Amino acid sequence: GSNFPGRPCPSESDAIRSAVRTLALNRHVIEVTGPTRLFRRTRRYGTRFARLLRTIATAKEWHLDATIDDRGAERELALDQGDLSVPNAEPVVEVSYDSGVEADFAARFEALDLEWELRREPEPLETGSRVMIPDFAFDWPHAVPEAVGEAEADPGPASDNHTDQGFRLFFEIIGFWTPEYVTKKLGQLGQLENVDMIVAVDESLGVGEDIEARDARAIPYSGTVDLKAVRDALRGYEADLIAASADALSAELVPEADAVGLDTLARKHGVSERAFDDVQFSEHERVGRTLVRPAVLDGLAETLAPGMDLADAEAHLEEYGLDNASAILSALGYRVEWEGLSGGVLREKD
């Protein structure tokens, strides 16, 4: 429910208030609670606190004291670095959203089927003496050979946008809320360092310029997040990421296989298929999204003939590991004439 009648609740993770007091020699005490705690007892923050604990537990030395509401009974919990370790795998949790705007955006974005992978509530980001957990992150799943992104233009600490897998771009949605909440959110954005972030902001708040001034790209929206504007923003990053991957590749590649799909080659090199757009393949020809040695095409040209059943032609292609029959047959000068549901036969193209 909402703490303020008629207004949607902010993200629970964003509502977490973290006060960090420096004690000595890089030691910190972090006190964590949530705004609903001021009004009533609640168990709604348990899952989010657990996610924060996962991050804290990666420290070399740490200690935690917690008061837990065990269905009405208060229990004390004490943990330190000797009690648990963080597994390499991400936790399996049911994805939940704090607003209809977030849920709607996630569903529409996933339907685009882009190379980017959408992550819900990624790792916390340091914002001065506090932490901020963005609503989403866009993960570029391919390797990034060099630092890419606006945050890298300013030398400083290592960027939070680079992961072991590739590049991560954070995404925050600021909906209509109280002036105090908006002020706090702007303060968090201003404290971020070396972080690339896109912020979708309810245009009724009128803070787009304030967000841009804090080195985050603002995308105004009314009702639902402008998916086209988000896609356009991602394209700018894609261009830099693909260019960096292409620069790291040899100007000329010679795959060992007689025939190989660009998707297979991309996985081998850990790049997007589009990184090969300007790469020369001196010993192969591009046929659709497949690289094929001329000798293979010559052999198929001698084997295939007009009037051959499509099924027989596909069997010959499979001998060379080729599964994109349409592109290969077209390159060899054939089209398929379909005969009802019984199949098709090869015909010379006009």
Q: Which domain-ending residue is among 181, 214, 241?
A: 241
Q: What is the DSSP pairing of strand 63-70 with strand 73-80?
A: antiparallel
Q: How confident is the model at residue 156 (pLDDT cuts 50, 70, 90)?
A: very low
Token pair 């009802």 is found at 340
* Residue 246 covered by a domain: no
Token pair 């009037």 is found at 307
* Token pair listed for 134: 């963005």
pLDDT in the model for residue 34: 57
pLDDT in the model for residue 210: 73
User: What are the tens digits of pLDDT across the range 39-71?
Assistant: 455 555 666 677 677 777 777 888 888 887 777
pLDDT in the model for residue 21: 38
Pair 213, 169 in one domain = yes
**What span, in angstroms and rounded, lies between the C-alpha atoms of 281 and 168?**
31
User: What are the tens digits of pLDDT across the range 258-283?
Assistant: 999 999 998 888 889 898 888 889 89
For the cut 50, the answer to whether the pLDDT of residue 214 exceeds it is yes
Per-residue pLDDT averaged across 304-327, rounded?
91
CB 21 within 8 Å of CB 29: yes
For the cut 80, the answer to whether the pLDDT of residue 11 exceeds it is no
pLDDT in the model for residue 348: 92
Q: How confident is the model at residue 152 (pLDDT cuts 50, 70, 90)?
A: very low
Pair 270, 299 in one domain = yes
Q: Which amino acid, 202?
A: D
pLDDT in the model for residue 155: 31
pLDDT in the model for residue 164: 53
Of the ranges 4-18, 37-51, 193-207, 311-325, which is most confident? 311-325
Pair 231, 277 in one domain = no
- Domain interval for residue 304: 259-348
* Residue 66 covered by a domain: yes
Pair 296, 216 in one domain = no
Pair 217, 341 in one domain = no
pLDDT in the model for residue 145: 66
**What span, in angstroms and rounded, lies between the C-alpha atoms of 152 and 29?**
31
* Residue 315 covered by a domain: yes
Q: Which domain-ending residue is among 241, 272, 293?
A: 241
For the cut 80, the answer to whether the pLDDT of residue 141 exceeds it is yes
For the cut 70, the answer to whether the pLDDT of residue 92 exceeds it is no
For the cut 50, the answer to whether the pLDDT of residue 7 exceeds it is no
Q: How confident is the model at residue 127 (pLDDT cuts 50, 70, 90)?
A: confident
* Residue 174 covered by a domain: yes
Per-residue pLDDT averaged across 126-148, rounded?
79
Between these two residues, 20 and 338, which has the higher pLDDT value? 338
Global pTM reads 0.62
Q: Which domain-ending residue is among 191, 209, 241?
A: 241
Which residues fall within 8 angstroms of residue 314, CB to CB, at 6 or more apart? Answer: 325
pLDDT in the model for residue 304: 93
Question: How many structural domains comprise the chain?
Answer: 2
**What span, in angstroms and rounded, lies between the C-alpha atoms of 120 and 302?**
54
Pair 133, 78 in one domain = yes
Locate all alpha helices (DSSP H) within the chain, ordered by sequence. 12-15, 46-56, 100-111, 179-191, 208-212, 227-248, 262-269, 294-303, 310-319, 325-331
Pair 181, 294 in one domain = no
Pair 67, 199 in one domain = yes
Which residues pair with residue 290 across a beta bridge?
261, 287
Pair 89, 153 in one domain = yes
* Residue 7 covered by a domain: no
Pair 208, 316 in one domain = no
Pair 230, 267 in one domain = no
Pair 274, 231 in one domain = no
pLDDT in the model for residue 63: 85
